[in-house]
Chain A
């Protein structure tokens, strides 16, 4: 008996396109901006934060996630999809630790997330994930940043941006990114590129920042006070 879940939702078009995947990518393109970059001293990741209401709690980070002690992710698109992917990556990181008795590399985690995303483009009854992730961390000799998207593609970058402001962020990176920046300079560069990517400064616009330094290999949230102190002059200059 034919079931409603027999047919894949993602099928090829006559031109060889996967429309569902492309539509998922549209969701990502309209999501709030996120970026990640790696420098000699570590990895920096940032997201723009647009609180819908003053009543919303400031403390809970919506789009920046920790996956393991030394790995984090920044998401853009359908954040609930991102949350599920991140949680499965967290479990997988511990499975890797149990199996190999070593810190999982950023690549292992990124590949796992990309594999799950790919599976959901080729399995009956499911839709692709509507989120792209920038997975950053320190493993081996230094920081690494990987990009994964609804198609299941995985690409390593030195610096990249995703979401609605991604074109502007990438433009800013191409002009200003250097591997030899210090962590402090990288933090400022991250926030500058976010400010560059917005059309105008809105009242409830803010940003969140995390760093994973090469020396500590620890995922660390940068305090909102420090973020605001860097943002304030940038935002007033923009106004």
Chain B
């Protein structure tokens, strides 16, 4: 008789959670001084097939707020469309700029409302409002936590390693962008679910939402990707 032991057996719930939460992607966000920086990879996968190499994973919700997505693309995109429509309605009907915590609560409520048929996506929502820079982690069921530094997706452990070593609250915008790019670049090297390119965006009181252009990312590519490419 052959007895087999499963020492590393996970409960069904844990298996489900790990499969759902860490789907192919690396997205990060962090706050420094009075701004928020986001960086994401651009790969979309279907199993081992690279379905898209230029995926937009950081989306502007309002001039002063943005959200990154990790997980099932369709679920995330439709939620973002709904969030944008509701943010716009709020700003027109109440004639005031919507606060980041309000957006986060709206997202959380919407996700929890679908608890029995969840949206398979995890979000980093961040921006700048009258109370300063904010960053929120929102998981697929709508759990909401405010953070200073976040990473989501299958590449998040690696990115978090880089961020944990080098993150400081007083980074300049330039240093913050470099760190964000470096963290995603490191994750791409070690996670097959992440790759193809890196998007960087930031929200500061002076500029509101701004995405880095290809020209601006070129020196970052030269410093943090090219040296590691096979020669």
A interface list, Cβ under 8 A from B: 66-69, 87, 90-91, 94-95, 97-98
Q: In the complex, which residues of chain B have a beta carbon less than 8 angstroms from the beta carbon of A95? A: 85
* Complex contact A98–B89 (CB within 8 A): no
Cβ 8 A contact of A90, one of B81, B82, B84, B92: B92
* Cβ B92 vs Cβ A98 within 8 A: no
Q: Say yes or no: is B109 at the interface (Cβ < 8 Å to chain A).
A: no
- Give the distance in Å from the alpha carbon of A98 to the alpha carbon of B85 in the complex: 7
- In the docked arrangement, what's the CA distance between A90 and B86, Å? 11
List 23 A-B residue pairs with CB atoms under 8 Å apart, sorted by A's residue number: A66-B92, A66-B95, A67-B92, A68-B88, A68-B92, A69-B88, A69-B92, A87-B93, A90-B89, A90-B92, A90-B93, A91-B89, A94-B85, A94-B86, A94-B88, A94-B89, A95-B85, A97-B84, A97-B85, A97-B88, A98-B81, A98-B82, A98-B85
Residues of B within 8 A of A66 (CB): 92, 95
Interface size on B, residues (CB 8 A): 10
Note all chain A residues with C-beta closer than 8 A to B95: 66
Interface centre among A66, A69, A91, A94 (most CB of B within 10 A): A94
Give the nearest-CB partner of A98 in chain B.
Answer: B85
> Lowest 4 CB-CB distances: which A-B pairs, in order?
A94-B85, A94-B89, A98-B85, A66-B92
Measured CA separation A97–B95 after assembly (Å)? 19
Give chain A's interface secondary structure class: helix
* CB-defined contacts of B85 to chain A, threshold 8 Å: 94-95, 97-98
Q: A90 CA to B85 CA in the complex, in Å?
A: 10
Report the Cα distance A193→B84, complex, angstroms. Answer: 39
Across the two chains, which residue of chain B brings its CB closest to A95? B85
Name the distance in Å between B75's Cβ and chain A's nearest Cβ. 15
* CB proximity of A97 to chain B, nearest CB, Å: 6
- A67 to B93 CA separation, bound complex (whole angstroms): 8
For residue B89, which residue of chain A has the nearest CB?
A94
Chain A residues lying within 8 Å of B89, measured Cβ to Cβ, are 90-91, 94
- Inter-chain CA distance A68–B90, complex, in Å, is 11
New A-B pairs, 14, CB < 8 Å, besides A66-B92, A67-B92, A97-B85 = A66-B95, A68-B88, A68-B92, A90-B89, A90-B93, A91-B89, A94-B88, A94-B89, A95-B85, A97-B84, A97-B88, A98-B81, A98-B82, A98-B85
Question: How far, in angstroms, from A46 to B180 measured CA to CA in the complex?
Answer: 49
Among residues 54 to 112 in chain B, which have CB atoms less than 8 Å away from a CB atom of chain A? 81-82, 84-86, 88-89, 92-93, 95
In the complex, A11→B175 CA distance in Å? 72
Q: How far is the CA of A98 from the CA of B78 in the complex (A)?
A: 9
A70, B92: Cα distance in complex, Å: 11
A97 to B88, alpha carbons, bound, how many Å? 10
Report A-chain residues with C-beta under 8 Å of the C-beta of B86: 94
List, in ascending order, chain B residues with CB within 8 A of A69's CB.
88, 92
Cα(A91)–Cα(B93), bound, Å: 9
Residues of A close to B84: CB separation below 8 A? 97
Give A157 Cβ to nearest chain B Cβ, in Å: 24
A95 vs B93: C-alpha distance in the bound complex, in angstroms? 15
- Residues from chain A with a CB closer than 8 A to the CB of B93 are 87, 90
Contacts of A87 in B (CB 8 A): 93
**Taking the nearest CB of chain A, how far is it from the CB of B109, in angstroms?**
17
Give min CB distance, A66 to chain B, whole Å.
5
Task: Report the minimal beta-carbon distance from A67 to chain B, rounded to whole angstroms.
Answer: 7
Minimum C-beta distance from B87 to chain A (A): 9
Chain A residues with CB under 8 A of B81: 98
Q: How many whole Å from B85's CB to the nearest CB in chain A?
A: 4
A45 to chain B, nearest CB (A): 16
CB distance from B131 to the nearest CB of A (A): 23
Per-position binary interface string of chain B over residues 116-155, scored 1 when its CB falls under 8 Å from any chain A CB and 0 otherwise: 0000000000000000000000000000000000000000
Interface residues of B in 30-66 (CB under 8 A from A): none
Which residues of the other chain, A, contact B88 by a CB distance below 8 angstroms?
Answer: 68-69, 94, 97
With CB as the reference atom, state the residue of chain B lying closest to A61.
Answer: B95
Distance between B216 CB and nearest chain A CB, rounded to angstroms? 27
- Please name the residue on chain B nearest to A101 by beta carbon: B81
A contact residues around B92 at 8 Å (CB): 66-69, 90
List chain B residues, Cβ under 8 A from A91. 89
Interface centre among B84, B88, B92, B95 (most CB of A within 10 A): B92
User: Once bound together, how far apart are the Cα atoms of A159 and B198, in whole Å?
Assistant: 51
- From residue B213, how far is it (CB to closest CB) to chain A in Å? 24
